[in-house]
């Protein structure tokens, strides 16, 4: 039984690093896919990967604080939110007026 608690404690203590690493992977994957022209900067996938990547990194920064990394990720996330807003706005416009280009 004590081994279970040790594993749980170790997992919980590593969770911010795991989540932060996943956020970095998401952000880098989005950027690599963009550079390889597999996705476009206005694609929902690109914007979502960047937003959730920054959220995951911010989560890890709560446990290992770095002000300037936090500022970068906060701005990165806000820019991604703005892009998602533009995406939704364009989608709603095209649904409301399907004959417009």
Q: What is the CA radius of gyration of the chain?
A: 18
The model's pLDDT over 59-95, given as tens digits with 9 standing for 90+, comes to: 999 999 999 999 999 999 999 999 999 999 998 888 8
Q: pTM of the predicted model, to two decimals? A: 0.85
Domain chopping of the chain, boundaries: 34-101
The model's pLDDT over 41-65, given as tens digits with 9 standing for 90+, comes to: 999 999 999 999 999 999 999 999 9
User: Which residues, including other chains, have CB under 8 Å from residue 40's CB and lie 6 or more apart?
Assistant: 34, 46
């Amino acid at each position: 039984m004590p081994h279970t608690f040790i594993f749980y404690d170790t997992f919980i203590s590593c969770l911010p690093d795991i989540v932060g690493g996943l956020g970095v992977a998401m952000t880098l994957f989005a950027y690599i896919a963009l550079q390889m022209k597999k996705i476009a900067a206005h694609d929902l996938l690109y914007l979502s990967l960047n937003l959730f990547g920054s959220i995951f990194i911010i989560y890890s920064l709560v446990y290992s604080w770095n002000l300037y990394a936090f500022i970068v990720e906060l701005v990165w996330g806000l820019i991604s939110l703005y892009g998602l807003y533009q995406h939704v706005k364009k989608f709603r416009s095209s649904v409301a007026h399907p004959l417009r280009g």
